[in-house]
Structure 1
């Protein structure tokens, strides 16, 4: 009988694309991929270092795996595995820890699934991680996360990503096009472009060969893909030409996710961000001028060291006045080996939580205001496979989440709908499910 492997992914879209790529390696090696809640011979846990309590989350996932299969072999990979391999090796039940350079050669390290008394660690210094390893997710027939860039050359004071993933590096445009065509052939209708610093696409072996703008122009001509979504892009890298191009593209969707982190120029300086809030406001204004129905998402960190009450109110007021659609709010958390961890002016945890709650409420307000501008309009919606309590969901090109009674025939289908009403849970209710003819 084939050995069984199960996966669990913590963190970002990039991690999901890499887990999927690792999964295909196991399939090629003769393993059967099963659900994480099933009994398996080996469990692969792909970790994150950005969110809080990476150690607690990893430990809990390991414990859950061993509940399903007490004698299973446990491998931990990803950003947390690169940053703190010794810490992971102390978690009972972990058999091998693989760093950033080693995770894509995992098959080489797990030829023998016999559990040993001591955890094995394979983790070379991040400076040695220079090769770009392509990956994309498959399995969700509706969309694919396509990794085109990895690593980061920015030195934001709060961030461990350069320590976990290394310097900025990218795939070639020709390789990305080839993989996009492969995705299209699988029946997937939407590609989400992912990377650590996506707008910095184009660096290979330390030399800039192309720009992100060159990539999106090339992808716009790929046949068989209905939608391409840009996952997240730094405001200083979101150029006028990119915004203008998306505005005129039938394939690239009107949705930008643009990290802000703080609306206070003082805090942006302490964070070593490469822009100030005036530039951010200019980006939003140009997007709304050229694409009035565009959805704009924003990342914000609250409680950064030195953030006074006045600084936070400055951020709140700035966001409240911006024509944006939703927020992703993060409480600042200390990270080892980052300059911010040693900064003065730490904000008490209770204040971080209070500020986070205020921004979450603002996010819901902004989302509802954006949805209200869409009422009565018609839109193309791509429906998802998930369903809950008799309903299924889908997303419009501009990221309006809709709900409708579950129908298996709608999964991975495009339908022209009319936005009728905002439901109690915040989702958009629709009518007129007309089939879209795709040529």
Structure 2
């Protein structure tokens, strides 16, 4: 039976009724979303909910959305239709970045019951207590629980557990940058984080479990950790390196202007931080970087890569690149291509520019045709493949530490070296979630 809202939430009879409800999650987007979904699902489990897989019958389906991909609306509508076909009487909740940016648009999607903005997603359990069995009203719009993003100031630590061998730990949220193409500040608010001490306690608790081998530090703008508290991301790195029980840390992504030489040198000497950086570039043209309102020039990026390779020649370096940004002429794209060809990076995450409401990039001309954007994407993806293959060849015959995943894929298991080279081998139970010496 489809859920309706009630004003008598929180009663003991209501709590008892909800204690056997099932919930299924689907996450769109980044590692940060993944960590938040995992954390919120555990909060629901403490309230008596039982988690189900998304393709299984459940009383409540929750979709955690993204604002980065250009088809968020299409993905949402497709998933809601899928839910309605397989479980027509279930409740559907939409939360996350897209829900914060366009709540009314999501509320108008047939079949959606509840839309939660950035300030309310961690209160999901309370909102679900306000859902009681009742007759469906297909003509009613979803309830929206949201506020102006300027009012979102709290930090909610979260981390993933059980879904993968690596644990994604959110240590920072929000962003004070105003890149002309990006909606993240509008979706997540100002930069904020926990203290070093609280983050260390969270990691110590994870270490005490005994099954967490690698932690990936995630955030919107990691380098801004501790802003306003007198602490820094480097302070956090140094503190985490002293915790026994965690073998490996990775930095999910850090802006080149916030990645300092002392951080690079620290990773080179660290016992636990892996020789692997992911540093957004976005463009190899200073003109385009200016239009994007990025806070660095290509020369700074090249300096960071050179510094990394001088102290860690074996280090993997990933780069984000946007192609087809307004104003990116053939000459400007060629500057990016030439820069990347010469740059000693390992792989690229290539994004095709897509328009976002309320962003300054909409005012920039000329607009690059979609077909041209797609062709440039293809060129850089091919370059990324060649660079990764060359990186792997340079390490053939070396022995490196590999953390093997605990799950099976077609009788095979996968893992990554410290410097992010992927290995695949026939599944062996005794190797699951273990760090082994591996000859490449």
TM over 0.5: yes
* Correspondence for 2:28: 10
1:196 paired to 2:217: no
Give the distance between the partners of 2:311 and 2:391, measured in 1 at CA.
16
Give the distance between the partners of 1:72 and 1:113, measured in 2 at CA.
11
Higher mean C-alpha displacement, 136-145 vs 175-184: 136-145
Residue 322 (structure 2) aligned to one of 298, 301, 307: 301
Per-residue CA distance 1:327-384 (angstroms, 9 max, x = gap) = 0000000000000022111000000000000000000000001001110000111111
Higher mean C-alpha displacement, 33-42 vs 383-392: 383-392
Give the distance between the partners of 1:348 and 1:193, measured in 2 at CA.
37
Per-residue CA distance 1:161-216 (angstroms, 9 max, x = gap) = 0000000001111111111111112211000000000011002xxx2421110000
Residue 173 (structure 1) aligned to one of 196, 199, 202: 196
Q: Is this contact kept in 2: 1:144–1:183, CA < 8 A?
A: no
Give the distance between the partners of 1:151 and 1:71, measured in 2 at CA.
36
Give the distance between the partners of 2:374 and 2:185, measured in 1 at CA.
27
Give the distance between the partners of 1:388 and 1:220, measured in 2 at CA.
32
Higher relative contact order (CA 8 A, sep 6+): 2
Shift of 1:141: 5.2
- 1:268-287 equivalence runs, <5 A: 268-287=289-308
Q: Which 4+ residue blocks in structure 1 deviate beyond 4 angstroms?
A: none
Give the distance between the partners of 1:208 and 1:196, measured in 2 at CA.
18
1:403 paired to 2:427: no
Cα 1:121–1:409 shift into 2, 3 Å: same
Cα 1:381–1:76 shift into 2, 3 Å: same
Q: Is this contact kept in 2: 1:42–1:113, CA < 8 A?
A: no
Give the distance between the partners of 2:187 and 2:402, measured in 1 at CA.
37
Q: Is this contact kept in 2: 1:141–1:412, CA < 8 A?
A: no
* Correspondence for 2:69: 51
Q: Say which structure is richer in strand.
A: 1
1:339 paired to 2:360: yes
Shift of 1:391: 1.7
* Correspondence for 2:85: 67
* Correspondence for 2:116: 98
Give the distance between the partners of 2:92 and 2:333, measured in 1 at CA.
43
* Correspondence for 1:376: 397
Q: Is this contact kept in 1: 2:92–2:111, CA < 8 A?
A: yes
Give the distance between the partners of 1:20 and 1:365, measured in 2 at CA.
35
* Correspondence for 2:337: 316
Instruction: Tell me the secondary structure at the aligned position of residue 259 of structure 1.
Output: coil
* Correspondence for 1:130: 153
List alignment gaps of at least 5 residues for structure 1.
420-439
* Correspondence for 2:3: none
Give the distance between the partners of 1:36 and 1:411, measured in 2 at CA.
25
Per-residue CA distance 1:58-77 (angstroms, 9 max, x = gap) = 11111222232111100000
1:250 paired to 2:274: no
1:240 paired to 2:261: yes
Q: Is this contact kept in 1: 2:180–2:293, CA < 8 A?
A: yes
Instruction: Tell me the secondary structure at the aligned position of residue 88 of structure 2.
Output: coil
Higher mean C-alpha displacement, 385-394 vs 149-158: 385-394
Q: Is this contact kept in 1: 2:100–2:146, CA < 8 A?
A: yes
Residue 82 (structure 1) aligned to one of 100, 103, 125: 100
List alignment gaps of at least 5 residues for structure 2.
1-18
Q: Is this contact kept in 2: 1:14–1:147, CA < 8 A?
A: yes
Higher mean C-alpha displacement, 409-418 vs 279-288: 409-418
- 1:104-123 equivalence runs, <5 A: 104-111=122-129, 112-114=131-133, 115-116=136-137, 117-123=140-146
Give the distance between the partners of 2:387 and 2:31, measured in 1 at CA.
24
* Correspondence for 2:247: 226
Instruction: Tell me the secondary structure at the aligned position of residue 174 of structure 1.
Output: helix
Aligned CA RMSD, in angstroms, stands at 1.1
Give the distance between the partners of 2:389 and 2:254, measured in 1 at CA.
24
